Structure 1
Amino acid sequence: MESLFLLIPISLLLIGLLVWILRWSIKSGQFDDLDGPGHAILMDDDTPRSKEVSEHSQK
Structure 2
Amino acid sequence: MIILLMLVPLSLMLLAFAIGAFIWAVRRGQFDDMDTPALDILSDDTSPPAQQGTRDRQASVHVD
Name the TM-score, length of structure 1 as normaliser. Answer: 0.76
Q: Does 1:6 align with 2:22?
A: no
Q: Structure 2: which 5+ runs fail to align?
A: 55-64
Q: Aligned pair count?
A: 53
Q: Structure 1: which 5+ runs fail to align?
A: none
Structure 2 counterpart of 1:23: 23
Runs (4+) of structure 1 moved beyond 4 Å?
none
- The one-letter amino acid paired with 2:18 is L
Identity of aligned residues (%): 38
Provide the rounded CA distance (Å) in 2 between the counterparts of 1:46 and 1:3: 61
Which has the greater radius of gyration? Answer: 2
- Classify the secondary structure of the residue corresponding to 1:17: helix
